């Protein structure tokens, strides 16, 4: 597993809690853990944990969000330059797909499979966790891309980002690696094939047959 949330500021309780949650997800390989365990590993009180997060689900979803953000940050310049020359939604879509294709999202998806529940068929609660993580990152990235391409219609930019992010959610739900922490070449091939298929399908659209 190559993803990580980044460096820890010892004074940042929220970051400490997320790092503790990540460690427990990996140690327990997706088995449940408690707020007390998170608090103990983070070196904070249980009350502090739930001052920052509403529930264990919120902790797990936030942990997934941090993994996605970290992966995207690795391929995104600290300050993305504004590009007013791009006015077409299709250009925004393809540039965004290319950006995500450079990120290590297969490893992140492996982590997410453990965090939300690595089952062949997700329960409604697991599906809700997955959807919540991707919805949060969608909102953040839509804001970034709207600022980067100010000449493109904002609604089209947000639609492009939403389409791609929720295609990632679909891939994460459908993809079933043998071991989420030790991805084989076949696991990576299937992840890339799924991502390519769903993004190409979105790009082609659904034209009506005459």
pTM of the model: 0.79
Among the listed residues 163, 43, 62, the one whose alpha carbon sits nearest the alpha carbon of residue 116 = 62
SS (H, E, C) 33-72: CCHHHHHHHHCCCHHHHHHHCCCHHHHHHHHHHHHHHHHH
* Residue in this structure with the two tokens 């000449």, named with its chain if needed: 151
The alpha carbon of 41 is separated from its chain's Cα centroid by a whole number of angstroms, namely 24
Whole-angstrom distance, CA of residue 159 vs CA of residue 30: 33
Per-residue CA distances from 20 to 64, 67, 162 (Å): 13, 13, 30
pLDDT in tens, 125-151: 777 877 888 888 888 889 889 999 999
pLDDT in tens, 23-81: 999 999 878 999 999 999 999 999 999 999 999 989 998 998 899 888 888 887 666 67
Whole-angstrom distance, CA of residue 190 vs CA of residue 206: 24
Tokens of 132: 């919540």
């Amino acid at each position: 597993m190559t993803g990580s949330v980044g460096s820890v500021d010892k004074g940042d309780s929220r970051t400490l809690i997320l790092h503790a949650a990540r460690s427990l997800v990996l140690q327990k390989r997706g088995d449940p853990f408690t707020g007390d365990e998170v608090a103990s590993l983070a070196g904070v009180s249980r009350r502090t944990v739930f001052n920052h997060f509403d529930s264990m689900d919120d902790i797990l979803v936030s942990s997934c969000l941090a993994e996605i953000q970290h992966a995207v940050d690795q391929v995104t310049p600290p300050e993305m330059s504004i590009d007013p020359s791009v006015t077409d939604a299709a250009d925004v879509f393809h540039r965004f797909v290319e950006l995500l294709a450079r990120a290590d999202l297969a490893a992140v998806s492996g982590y997410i499979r453990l965090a939300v529940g690595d089952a062949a068929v997700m329960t409604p609660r697991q599906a809700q966790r997955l959807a919540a993580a991707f919805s949060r990152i969608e909102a953040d990235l839509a804001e970034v891309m709207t600022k980067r391409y100010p000449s493109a219609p904002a609604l089209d930019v947000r639609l492009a980002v939403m389409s791609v992010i929720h295609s990632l959610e679909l891939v994460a739900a459908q993809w079933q690696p043998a071991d989420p922490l030790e991805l084989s070449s076949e696991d990576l091939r299937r992840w890339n094939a799924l991502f390519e298929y769903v993004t190409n399908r979105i790009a082609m659209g659904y034209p009506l047959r005459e």
